[in-house]
Amino acid sequence: MPETWVILTTLSLLFAYTSSYIWPGGDQIVQLEKSFFCKQSAERNYIARKNECGRQARIIKPGFTFSPFINLIYSTQTVDMVNVPDGHYAILVARDGKDLPADRVAAPEWIATEAPKMLDAEYFLTHGGYRGPQSTILKPGTYPINQYLFAVTIRHQNPNLPIDPRATIRTEIPTGYVGVIRSKIESPVVPAFFTGLAGQPTHCSQPVERRAGSQTAVLANVGCIGVWDKPLLSGAYFINRDLYEVTLVDTRVQSWNYEGGYKRRTINLVINGNDIKQEKSQVYVPVPDGAAGDAIHVKVEGWTVHQELRIQVRVAPELAPVVVASVGNLKDVLERIVTPWIRSELRNIGGATLTVRNTVAYGNAVAEQNALQARLDQLKDVRITDTDLGMTAEQRAQELTNIKHKLANFILPDPNAEVNRATHVLDFQDEREALEKLVAARVRAFGETAGLEIIAVKLGDAELPPELLVARKLEQIATQFERTYLRRRTAEIARQSQEAATALANRQDQLVAARVAVQIAQQRELERERLGAAERRFLEELARGQSAQSAVLGQNRVVLLQALEKILATLKSRPELVRLVNWLVPQTIVIGDGNASLAGAAALLSGSTTKQVKN
C-alpha cells in the first residue's frame, strides 16, 4: 500500500506540475479562456472581467510561467505576436470597451504617455478604452497583443490575416508637397503623427476662419474634426487613413499650358514670273498630353485668334488647407477656377483697349518717309530717264516738287509715347509684350483671389488668320520687286558707265593729243590777244607822237617824214635798192652823232647835199 500511495502521490504531483505551467516561445503569447471557478460574464462583454468566465484580458508572455492548475482552469491558445513590417502600420479594432459616442467614428487618440499601455487588455478595459476602431496605430515592430480583444489589420505574410491596402502602408508626403488632413474624429490630444504638436491638448470649440484672397474656409484646429488649419510637411508618417484623409498638395511651381485644339491654316505665296499664286493648306494641332487645356480662342475685330498660353503657379504651403477646404485639390482649382477665368479674361482683352507705345505708328511713318525719300532719289537720278519712269518731264518735275514738300513737312510720331486704343488682331503678333503684361497683371490679381501665387505668364504662339498676313507678304514682295528694279537699273547704268570708261581708256592717246591741241590753241589765242593789246597801245602812243609832230612841223611835213621813215626801213631791209637811191637822190652830208635826227631829215627834204660825219 505505501508503494501505491507513493506512486499515486508522484503521479498527482506530476499531473499538478504539468498542468500548472505555460512556456510560450520567444515570438508567441498564450491567450486564456476560463472555464472553471468563475461566474458567467455579462452579455455585452466580449472579454471577461474579474472572475468572469470566458475570454480573459490576461495573456501569458514569452518565458516560463507557473500558475497552479492553469491548464485545467483555462483553455489556452498559443498565437504569434503581431509583427508590423517596416514601411507598414497596423490598425486596431477593439471588440470590447466603452461604447463610442454617436458623433464619433473611432476612439480618440491615447495620450502619448499612456499609448503603450493600451495594448494591455486589462489596462484598456479598466481605463476607458472604447469599443470599435482605434485612432492609435501600431508602427513597425513586434507586439504581444491580445487578439481576443483587438482585431488587427495589417499587410502580412500570413494569409489568414485580413489585408486592407488603403490602410496598411505608411503615408509618404514627397518633397515639394504638403499634406492637408481632413479628420473624421476629434481627439483630446494631437495625434502622434503630427510631430510638431504631438501630444498637446486640442481645443475644438473654436474653429479657425482662414482666407486666401477671395477664398474663405472654416478650418479646424489640429486634432479636431474637419480640415486642419496646418498642413503636414514632407516626410513619412504612419496615419490611420480610415480616420484621416490626406490630400497631397503640390507646392512646387506648376506650369499649366493651354495649347493645341485648333486648325492651323496657312496661305503660301508662289511667284511664277510676274504672277503670284496663293496656295492654301491646313493641319490640325492636337492638345498635347498633360496640357491644362486647348488654346484660348479670342475674337478680335471679327476674326478668331487661337492664342496659346503658359502660366506658372504655386500654392503657398500655409494656404494649402484653405485651397483644399474651399475648392478641393489642385486639379479642381485648375479646372473649376483658373481655366474658366483665364479663357474669359483673354476674350475680354480681345474686345477691350490696349495701352501700348506708339511704335507701330512710328514704324509706319518711318516706312512712309523712307518710301518718299526713295522715290525722291529715283526722280533726282539723272541716269534714269523719263521713259524709264513712264512720265513726261513736266510730270516728273511736278512729282519731284510735291515729294520735296511732303518731306519738308513730314513729322514722325514719338515712338515712346503711350497711347490707349482698341485691341487689333495683329497686336497678338506686333504688341506681344504689352499684351503679355496686361494678361499677367490680370492673372496675378486673380491668383491672389484664388489663393495661388502666379509666378509668370507667357503668351505662346498666336495663330492669326492667314488672310491678314497675305497683304503684308504682298507688300513685302512689292517692296522687294521695287528694290530689285532699282538695283537692276543702277547696275545697267553702271555697266554703261563702265563701257564708256573702257572706250575712253582705249582712245586715251587721241584724247591727250586733242587736249594738247586745245591747250595750244588756247595759248595762241592768248598770245594774239596780248600782241593785239600791245599793238593797240603802240599805235595809240604813235598817234599821240604824230599829233605832237604835227603841232611842231605841220601836217604836210609829218606826212613826208612818215614816208621817209618807211623808205629808210625798206632800204635797210633791202640794201640792193641803195644804188637806185644814189641815182635818184644827190649825196648829202649830215653831221651829227650818227643817229637819225629831224635836222638830217629836214635837210634831206630841203634838197641840200649833206654828208654825215661822226663826231
C-alpha cell at 272: 511664277
Signed CA dihedral, 100, 106, 107, 108: sign only: negative
Supply the pLDDT for residue 21: 80
C-alpha cell at 100: 463610442
Distance CA 202, CA 172 (A): 25
Residues of the chain with pLDDT under 70: 1-2, 6, 8, 11-17, 42-43, 155-169, 211-215, 273-274, 449-450, 471-472, 474-494, 496-497, 500-501, 504, 546, 549-559, 576-615
Distance CA 489, CA 394 (A): 22
3-class secondary structure, 439: helix
Distance CA 488, CA 280 (A): 32
Grid cell 498638395 is found at: 249
Distance CA 45, CA 172 (A): 39
Give the tens place of pLDDT for each residue, 397-418: 898 899 998 888 888 888 888 7
Residue 62 and residue 19 in contact, taking contact as beta carbons nearer than 8 Å: no
CATH architecture assignment, domain 255-356+421-464: 2-Layer Sandwich (3.30)
Give the Cβ contact number of residue 169 at 10 Å.
Answer: 14
C-alpha cell at 128: 476607458
Would you call 10 exposed, middle or buried from its count of C-beta atoms within 10 A (0-12, 13-18, 19+)? exposed
User: pTM of this prediction?
Assistant: 0.55
| Angle at 547 (CA atoms; ends 543, 551), nearest 5 degrees | 170
For the chain, domain boundaries: 19-80, 82-250, 255-356+421-464, 507-553, 554-614
Residue 225 and residue 309 in contact, taking contact as beta carbons nearer than 8 Å: no
Rg (CA), the chain: 64
Beta carbons within 8 Å of 5's beta carbon, 6+ residues apart: none
Residue 609, H or E segment? none
Residue 431 and residue 397 in contact, taking contact as beta carbons nearer than 8 Å: no
SS (H, E, C) 99-131: CCCCCCCCECCCCCCCHHHHHCHHHHHHCCCEC
Supply the pLDDT for residue 13: 67
| Angle at 191 (CA atoms; ends 186, 197), nearest 5 degrees | 110
Residue 97, H or E segment? none
